[in-house]
A and B are shown apart, each in its own frame.
Chain A
Amino acid sequence: MQTTTSFAVLLTALAVTAQDQRPTALVNARILTMTDGGSIERGTVLIRDGKIEALGPDVRPPLGARVIDVAGGTVMPGYVHAWSGAGLSAAPRAPQEAPDPTRGRRGRGPRPEVTPQPSSGGNSASKRVADGVYERQDVFADLLREGVTSLSVRPLAPGFPGLAARLEPDGTTHGDLVVDPESYVVVAPATNTAGKKLLKDEFDKAKKALEERKKPPEPQKPAGTEGQPAATPDAKPAEPQKPAEGGKPAEEPKPQEPPKPQEPPKPQEQPKPATDAKPAAAPAQAQPAPKKDPNVEVLADVLDGKRKTFVRMSTVMEMQHWLDAVGETRFPMVVVADAPDSRRGRLDEGIAELKKLGATVLLAPRLLDLPFSRTLVNVPQRLHEAGIALGFVLPDDPAGIRDLRFRLMELVRSGLPADAALRAVTAVPAKLLGIDDKTGSIVAGLRADLLVFDGDPLDPSASLRHVFLRGREITKDPTR
């Protein structure tokens, strides 16, 4: 326990020097880079101006640098939380699992089947969850203290609930907090007739909208109305306009919502409620001046591969219904399996479907029980062995994040390689979010979003000692 004592002293010191502008050197560290470069058993990570300046066994801390000796400890990237409901007013709940008929009352026969009937939802794909994020909430800072250095919050309702936002968890103003209000499109298909019809209908509309875009511009139209991304196929429409990152957000004069090429009218101005109906008229057919449905336009972007799309499908059953509903419609997608259920098909039973969808996977980090059984299956391990890129859905509460390492240990103990488990909470979700050029691994030039443990992160006795966000040390909550 000496570590604890000395650490407490260190903490006090750090609290004082939190705004220190000097470079920081984490020395004598085991460095888990989360890249193919693997780990460095004993080396230094040098942090300057919010970024990782250098790392390696031979890196010397420059004169005047703050030096933190992490001998025996480990440095790894901060957790990247890609699918969070933190801070949203109505915390979304996982759908109720189907009742297990084997757990019926003793000797009374199976319980009547209760079929959850989720509503089918509607299309509000252009609605930004960012507009509903209230910045002054403790939860972001609390998560950050537990190591979540990158946080994306998403809307969650059946159908096309809207656009997820990427947050800087230390932001204190809305502008600082929301760094990308259109991080990805969320789809949460409902497995019922109406839900499947919604998918089909909306993607059909989106296909038409896409065809419209690709038509040559009509001469009499004012030039301003087109500017469609299709005209400049090389341009990555979303990325360049995003606010620059890495710098201190305070320095950025709040260019919050850079107009995207196909920027829809503000969703709030849309008269229709989020949960129901389609637009009054299909835009393609409306004459003369076709009004574009922003929700459909967002889906057209999806089909065009211009927006990242996260589809919430926790089971193979849902994937099969998706394929049944959308037919041959394909686009790059991340399958989010936050409520896996072995009674509806484990993801390792749906590798063919995942490959057909070309999907990468974000799933809940836990062992699944076989139906009617106490036997547990390590689904992440099986997906990993099948070569499926694998990220984890992280918990939404600070206590859950503290617990996360134990979930990972469980998976590692039963066969998932430790490296894959840790990448699944760092580099992989960063890649899925398209921010792997900024964070998620320890590479010179990337943001210094780092966690320092006083042992192996997958050792239950190790503790999280330091959290760095953009090179800035996050102080521990003194009450803990």
Chain B
Amino acid sequence: MRSSPKQTFRRLGRVATAAALALAGAHAQQKPSMTIWYGDRPKDYEVAKLGPTSVPSPAYAFKSKRVLPVTAPPIEDGVVLTRNGKILAIGRAADVAIPEGFTVVDLGDRWCVPGFVDLHCHIASEGFDINDTVHQTNPEMRTLDLVTMEHEQLKLALAGGVTTVNYIPGSGSNMGGFGTLTKTWGRTPEEALVRFPGCLKIAQAGNPERSSGDLGLTPMGMNEGLRATLTRGRDYHLAWEAWKAGKGDKPQFEAGLEYLRGLFRHEYPVCVHTQIYQVVLQTVRELRHEMGLWTVIVHGTFDAYRLSEFVADSGVPIAGGPRQYHFDRGGGAGAGSGAESAFRGVLAGWYGGGMHGWRSTQRGLGRDGIGVNTDSPVVPQQELSVQAAMAVRLGLADDVGILALTINPARFIGADDRVGSLEVGKDADLVFWSGDPIDPRSHVELTVVNGNHAYRRDPRHPRY
């Protein structure tokens, strides 16, 4: 099912990127040593393991008052046909004929919205934020084996309209390990899987500071630790590529570096829990510019939105949350100077600063744009939409708010061929809301994942 983007599409993306760089070029020109390696996505996956291309599900025709495909204009009185986990058709009820054998599910005046995507989530195991902080960097760790579909918060996630999560290790060490991109419902974890690794998890500053006195107390030591591990990974990757090209010996397999190899093949990104101006600047320089990695900023809070142009030009997107504001203490000479303190919306800041998501149109690598995340269970998984509501409250446009919950994060993580919008051929992850999904007053009536009913609201005892 996975098809690589069309050649023309790609070329277009590169042209757009180049144009954007030329436009904003101050950074690049002033610092010629920083070359942005956009590279290509691999034609095939060597390291990553993808989820099933099709999941058994009955044939349904979901009818509702309003359908928000997200990547296309809203459809009034729409219908979505699904079977075997995929969307077969979408359109106005008047235009789409419901074939024989399709069970009609009439959701009345509900809104049909794509399932939300949360790129920063720690819930899929029993327990909380998971950290195995043996070493400063732990590329040998992975969350894949911890995913269980019975987790209480995954059930709540469904009731909150969240159908895809990037379940990542905690931020107790600089490199927590590899996360899993999974649906929040499935009969088995294998069925729910979207991709493993979903990403490599890196955390910068703050949480992973090592107060033990070991290397990594300050950003200097952290950068050093990350660079050392990533460099080993890159050498390992290059050795394999060389061998494949007929140059050099076959490298010895190293389990601890194998997934780093996929990282350098751009099969999946590094998701960096990073925040604060200086740390974000350094993250983008080191991971994106120096290592050339497919980089996604998650948990992006505080004042780093001041860097949005530079970060966007670097082709790095950002998922913001869970705080959604930076308390700007202002400053300047005297009251009324216009530089007073304020609750600044983090995402409004990123968006307003130029992070629009148009630097690249290709999937994944090099794509900018904004999303929201929960850092669940810090904020409960089911409250992802509240994060968007607060971002909109503090100045983000409504229509961007819904993108930030759906297609944007799907694009950053490279899963927009499956999730993030309602399009023919994509996964049938549909959520039926009682109204505007960003408004906390709205509730989820029905959640469909991979074409299967995953949650239906019991009005006397709704899950959420």
Contacts and interface: CB of A to CB of B under 8 A. Distances in A.
Interface stretch (A31-39, A244-252, A370-378): A370-378
A266 interface: no
B327 A372 contact: yes
Interface in A365-385: 370, 372-378
Contacts of B323: 107
Interface in B300-352: 301, 323, 327, 329-335, 337, 339-341
Contacts of A375: 330-335, 337, 339-341
Contacts of A12: none
B206 interface: yes
A102 interface: yes
**Which bucket holds chain B's interface residue count?**
10 to 19
Interface residues of A, number: 12
Interface SS of chain B: helix, strand, loop or mixed? loop
Contacts of B333: 375-376, 414
Nearest to B323: A107
A14 to B, nearest CB: 43
A373 B206 contact: no
Contacts of A376: 333-334
B94 to A, nearest CB: 51
Contact of B329 (A106, A373, A378, A414): A373
Contacts of A102: 327, 329
Contacts of A373: 329-331, 340-341
B206 A106 contact: yes
B329 A372 contact: yes
Interface in B373-393: none
Interface SS of chain A: helix, strand, loop or mixed? loop
B334 A374 contact: no
B327 A374 contact: no
B206 A374 contact: no
A369 to B, nearest CB: 9
A217 to B, nearest CB: 59
A376 B335 CA distance: 8
Contacts of B340: 370, 373, 375
Contacts of A107: 206, 301, 323
A373 B335 CA distance: 10
Nearest to A369: B329
Given A106-B206, A373-B341, A375-B339, A414 B334 contact: yes
A367 B330 CA distance: 16
Nearest to A106: B206
Contacts of B301: 107
A312 B340 CA distance: 31
Interface in A218-246: none
Interface of A: 102, 106-107, 370, 372-378, 414
27 contacts: A102-B327, A102-B329, A107-B206, A107-B323, A370-B335, A370-B341, A372-B329, A372-B341, A373-B329, A373-B330, A373-B331, A373-B340, A373-B341, A374-B329, A374-B331, A374-B332, A374-B341, A375-B331, A375-B332, A375-B333, A375-B334, A375-B335, A376-B333, A377-B334, A377-B335, A378-B334, A414-B333
